[in-house]
Amino acid sequence: MRKYSLTVRIATWNINSVNRRLERVIDWLDQTQTDILCLQETKCSADDFPALLLEGAGYASAVAGDGAWNGVAILSKVGLDDVTVGLPNVPEWEGAAEPRAIAATCGGQRIWSLYVPNGRTLEHDHYQYKLAWLDQLSAMARNEMEEYPNLALLGDFNVAPTDSDVWDLDVFADSTHITEQERQRLTDLRNLGMHEVEPRPLKYDRAYTFWDYRQLAFPKNRGMRIDLVYATQPFADRVTDAYVDREARKGKGASDHAPVVVDLDEG
C-alpha cells in the first residue's frame, strides 16, 4: 500500500486477457493506488472492454482492440486526453494494422501503451514485421518528443535489453528477443534521448517481468525482462522508484507477466 505522498504512480502490465483477469486488475489498482495503468494483450475488442466496471473503480479507459490475441489500453484516474490509436505509418500484418499501440495525455504525462510483435522465429516473416514495427516506434517517438516533454513509452517490448535480462542465455540461442537487430532498435530509442527506467531488484538480482507457465518457471525464477519503460529526460528526472510487482504474478489465474511500477515526483 502506498503511503500518502505527492507522487504519480504509473504501471505497465501485459494482462493476458483483461476480462479473464478483471477482478485481479481492480483489486491490484485498489491495493497499489496506481494512477495510470497501461495494459497489453487485452484479448478483446473495444466494445467488449470492461470500461464501465473500471469506471466504477475510478478509472477512465482508452482502448484499442479487435478481439484477437493483441489489444492495448490505458486506464487513468488523473485525466485521459488527446488519445491517439496506433503508430503513424505502422506496418501491417496479414493485411491489417494490428491494435498494438495507444497513447493519451494523463495528468501532464504523455503515455504510450505498447505491445511489440513477438517475432516468432528468426526465419519467420513476423520477425521482419517486428523490426519494421520497432522502426516506426522510433519515428513516432522522435515526433512526440518535440511536442511532449514528459513522454513515456511503456509496455511489452518483447526484447530483453541485455544478456543478463534472460535467465539462461543458452536457452535463447538462435531465437528472437535477444538478437542484435532487436536490441539495436532499443539503442535507437536511447539515441533519440529516451532513457530506460530500470526497475530495482527486489527478491532476486534481476527484475524479470515474464515467466512461462510451464516447467515451474516462476518459482524457479526462470524469466525474462521484456516489459520496459523508456522516457524523456524530464520524465526520467522525476522518477523516485521503479520495481516489478512479483506478487501480482502469484496464484491461480495470474498473467504470465508481472506489472512494472514507476513512481514519479508530481513536479
Domains in the chain, ordered, with CATH?
9-262 (3.60.10.10)
Provide the sign of the torsion angle of the four alpha carbons 183, 13, 38, 20, taken in this order: positive
- At residue 123, the 3 state secondary structure works out as coil
Strand partners, 239: 264
Residue 25 and residue 12: Cα distance in Å, rounded?
12
Q: How far is CA 213 from CA 55, 115, 218, 250, 253, in A?
A: 31, 20, 7, 11, 10
Residue 34 and residue 75: Cα distance in Å, rounded?
10
- At residue 42, the 3 state secondary structure works out as coil
Residue 91 and residue 47: Cα distance in Å, rounded?
24
| Amino acid present at 235 | F
CA angle 45, 46, 51 (to 5 degrees): 125
Residue 107 and residue 111: Cα distance in Å, rounded?
10
Per the structure block, which three cell numbers stand in for 62? 482508452
First to last CA, the chain: 22
Evaluate whether 87 touches 102 at the Cβ level (below 8 Å): no
Query: Which residue ranges in the chain fall short of pLDDT 50?
Result: 1-4
Burial grade of 154 (CB within 10 A; 0-12, 13-18, 19 or more): buried
Q: Residue 110: what pLDDT?
A: 98
pTM: 0.96
- At residue 229, the 3 state secondary structure works out as strand
Residue 190 and residue 201: Cα distance in Å, rounded?
22
**Whose grid coordinates read 495528468?**
107
Evaluate whether 60 touches 80 at the Cβ level (below 8 Å): yes
- At residue 136, the 3 state secondary structure works out as helix
Q: Residue 267: what pLDDT?
A: 67
